[in-house]
């Protein structure tokens, strides 16, 4: 029994924060940001919108694209590092807002920018083991809420948004072929949120990052996960049709594409318009590539991510 992507959906808040807007707030330039990150703008949730609200719209669109009824969803997993509340989980809030009253399990997965890969892998395991037949997997973030706009070292990176997939069961198609998950918890100091948890009570709820060190770790680690995924499946680089990467930074994505000998027109790139939306970025990119017709049924997709923790992972999927 394999898990297959039945449908995808995504949502981006309307409000934009451009590099020109940032030029007015911090000492930076559009040229510097574009050269170092490839980012030109990001979407920002309104004051009334929380992570669950973004997740619900993306989820609704994925359910519609999958052609299933909301009540047929048997598992909800939301990958997020910006939950509405410490508890209840954002997944429980999404279940309620989608009016899913069948009592299906709902939980959050917290693996920062690798969160969607972790969530996809978890849902895949539930389906392969026969525990559920249909799962809603969402990556959703409101990172601009934990961004310190006086810290020019990282505030230009982050954006808000949500992406979702509905997984179903198949006995004839490969679907999700393999997933590979890793973590190394020794690097807390390089990328973390100051307040918000029980050890940061009273502190500002902002992200702190040693950008240069994170950059180097990300490139080397993603290099290794690409090799691991290809070797595990007896594939060569040319077998991959599409790279659907976590959208951290165009330079990091370019390095992975180069490693795969992948021309830029086989890479789904959204970072320029969306910034880094952490757990939301892969399903946002996936939905973009599917809805604009680039990604076709039967093609082989490599998704990969690296993020805080550090966590990293990949998923090889026959769409
Ligand atoms: C954040 C990042 C873009 C910074 O680029 P960088 O080339 O590493 O830049 P540095 O931090 O070395 O700083 C270089 C110079 O630019 C300056 N600078 C930093 N931020 C700036 C900004 N927003 N605008 C203009 N100048 C800036 C620095 O002060 C420094 O100046 P100095 O040489 O006079 O000291 C880059 O490190 C990066 O993308 N890292 C990975 C981050 C990431 O993807 N994290 C999420 C992982 S999921």
Task: Say if ligand 1 is within 6 A of residue 38 CB.
Answer: no
Cβ–Cβ under 8 Å, residues 75 and 104: yes
Query: What separation in Å is there between the alpha carbon of 153 and the centre of ligand 1?
Result: 5
198 and 231, same domain (yes or no): yes
40 and 107, same domain (yes or no): yes
pLDDT of 16-46, one tens digit each? 999 999 999 999 999 999 999 999 999 999 9
Buried/exposed 186-202: b ≥16 CB within 10 Å, e otherwise: ebeebbbbeebeeeeee
Query: What separation in Å is there between the alpha carbon of 37 and the centre of ligand 1?
Result: 9
Which parts of the chain fold into alpha helices (H)?
Answer: 19-25, 30-37, 51-66, 90-97, 115-128, 211-232, 250-259, 271-274, 281-291
142 and 273, same domain (yes or no): no
Average pLDDT, the chain: 97
* Residue with CA at minimum distance from ligand 1 atom 25: 28
Query: pLDDT category, 72, cuts 50, 70, 90?
Result: very high
Task: Say if ligand 1 is within 6 A of residue 212 CB.
Answer: yes
pLDDT of 186-199, one tens digit each? 999 999 999 988 99
160 and 210, same domain (yes or no): no
How many whole angstroms separate alpha carbon 215 and alpha carbon 29? 20
Query: To which H or E segment does residue 18 belong?
Result: strand 15-18
Query: pLDDT category, 216, cuts 50, 70, 90?
Result: very high
Is 124 part of the annotated catalytic residue set?
no
Q: Which of 113, 11, 104 is nearest to 62 (CA)?
A: 11
Give the domain-ending residue among 170, 196, 215: 170
pLDDT at 196: 87
Cβ–Cβ under 8 Å, residues 279 and 79: yes
Query: What separation in Å is there between the alpha carbon of 216 and the centre of ligand 1?
Result: 12
- Total-model pTM: 0.98
Task: Say if ligand 1 is within 6 A of residue 240 CB.
Answer: no
Query: If you average pLDDT over residues 58-84, what whole number do you get?
Result: 98
187 and 118, same domain (yes or no): no
Tokens representing residue 117 in the block: 């890969």
Query: If you average pLDDT over residues 139-162, what whole number do you get?
Result: 98
pLDDT at 202: 87
Identified catalytic residue from 19, 154, 249, 276? 276
Task: Say if ligand 1 is within 6 A of residue 113 CB.
Answer: yes
Query: What separation in Å is there between the alpha carbon of 143 and the centre of ligand 1?
Result: 18
* Residue with CA at minimum distance from ligand 1 atom 9: 212
Task: Say if ligand 1 is within 6 A of residue 208 CB.
Answer: no
Query: What separation in Å is there between the alpha carbon of 308 and the centre of ligand 1?
Result: 17
Residue 115, Cβ neighbours under 10 Å: how many? Answer: 33
How many whole angstroms separate alpha carbon 215 and alpha carbon 283? 22
Buried/exposed 207-229: b ≥16 CB within 10 Å, e otherwise: bebeeeebbebbbebbeebbeeb
> Maximum CA pair distance of the chain?
56
Contacts of 270 (CB under 8 A, 6+ apart): 247, 281, 284, 285, 288
* Residue with CA at minimum distance from ligand 1 atom 28: 153
Dihedral over Cα of 59, 96, 158, 225: its sign: negative
Give the domain-ending residue among 170, 190, 212: 170
141 and 231, same domain (yes or no): no
Query: If you average pLDDT over residues 149-164, what whole number do you get?
Result: 98
Query: pLDDT category, 314, cuts 50, 70, 90?
Result: very high
Give the domain-ending residue among 136, 170, 204: 170
137 and 203, same domain (yes or no): no
How many whole angstroms separate alpha carbon 139 and alpha carbon 79? 5
pLDDT of 256-298, one tens digit each? 999 999 999 999 999 999 999 999 999 999 999 999 999 999 9
Task: Say if ligand 1 is within 6 A of residue 271 CB.
Answer: no
Tokens representing residue 66 in the block: 């999958």
How many whole angstroms separate alpha carbon 244 and alpha carbon 294? 12
CATH assignment of the domain containing 45: 3.40.47.10
pLDDT of 108-128, one tens digit each? 999 999 999 999 999 999 999
How many whole angstroms separate alpha carbon 110 and alpha carbon 95? 18
Is 43 part of the annotated catalytic residue set?
no
Residue ranges making up the domain that contains 12:
2-170
Query: What separation in Å is there between the alpha carbon of 245 and the centre of ligand 1?
Result: 21
Cβ–Cβ under 8 Å, residues 150 and 111: no
pLDDT at 174: 97
Q: How many domains does the chain have?
A: 2
76 and 145, same domain (yes or no): yes
Residue indicated by tokens 């934990």: 146
How many whole angstroms separate alpha carbon 39 and alpha carbon 126? 36
Is 220 part of the annotated catalytic residue set?
no
Task: Say if ligand 1 is within 6 A of residue 233 CB.
Answer: no
Instruction: Please tell me the chain's helix, strand, coil percentages from 3-state DSSP, rounded to the nearest 5.
Output: 40, 25, 35
pLDDT at 280: 98
pLDDT at 200: 85
Q: Which of 37, 42, 49 is nearest to 22 (CA)?
A: 42
Task: Say if ligand 1 is within 6 A of residue 153 CB.
Answer: yes
Task: Say if ligand 1 is within 6 A of residue 32 CB.
Answer: yes
Buried/exposed 24-52: b ≥16 CB within 10 Å, e otherwise: eeeebeeeebeebbbbbbbbbbeeebbbb
Identified catalytic residue from 104, 113, 155, 249? 113
54 and 102, same domain (yes or no): yes
Query: What separation in Å is there between the alpha carbon of 314 and the centre of ligand 1?
Result: 26
221 and 269, same domain (yes or no): yes
Tokens representing residue 8 in the block: 């995808």
Contacts of 292 (CB under 8 A, 6+ apart): none
181 and 164, same domain (yes or no): no
95 and 212, same domain (yes or no): no
């Amino acid at each position: 029994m394999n898990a297959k992507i039945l449908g995808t959906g995504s949502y981006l808040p309307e409000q934009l924060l451009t590099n020109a807007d940032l030029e007015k707030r911090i000492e930076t330039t559009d040229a510097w940001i574009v050269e170092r990150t490839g980012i030109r703008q990001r979407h920002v949730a309104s004051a009334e919108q929380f992570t669950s609200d973004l997740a619900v719209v993306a989820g609704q669109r994925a359910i519609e694209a999958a052609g299933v009824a909301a009540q047929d969803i048997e598992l909800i997993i939301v990958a997020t590092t910006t939950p509405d509340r410490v508890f209840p989980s954002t997944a429980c809030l999404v279940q309620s807002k989608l009016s899913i009253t069948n009592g299906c399990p709902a939980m959050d997965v917290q693996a920062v920018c690798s969160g969607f890969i972790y969530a996809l892998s978890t849902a895949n395991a539930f389906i392969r083991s026969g525990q559920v037949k249909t799962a809603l997997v969402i990556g959703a973030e409101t990172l601009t809420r934990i961004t310190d706009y006086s810290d020019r070292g990282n505030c230009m990176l982050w954006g808000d948004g949500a992406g979702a997939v509905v997984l179903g069961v198949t006995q004839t198609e490969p679907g999700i072929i393999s997933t590979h998950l890793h973590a190394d918890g020794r690097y807390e100091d390089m990328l973390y949120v100051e307040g918000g948890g029980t050890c940061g009570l009273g502190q500002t709820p902002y992200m702190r990052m040693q950008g240069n060190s994170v950059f180097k770790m990300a490139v080397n680690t993603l290099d290794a996960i690409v090799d691991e995924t290809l070797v595990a499946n007896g594939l060569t680089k040319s077998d991959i049709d599409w790279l659907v990467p976590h959208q951290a930074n165009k330079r990091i994505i370019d390095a992975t594409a180069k490693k795969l000998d992948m021309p830029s027109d086989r890479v789904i790139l959204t970072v320029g318009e969306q910034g880094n939306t952490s757990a939301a970025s892969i399903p946002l990119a996936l939905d973009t590539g599917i809805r604009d017709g680039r990604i076709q049924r039967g093609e082989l997709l490599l998704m990969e991510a690296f993020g805080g923790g550090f966590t990293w992972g990949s998923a090889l999927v026959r769409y």
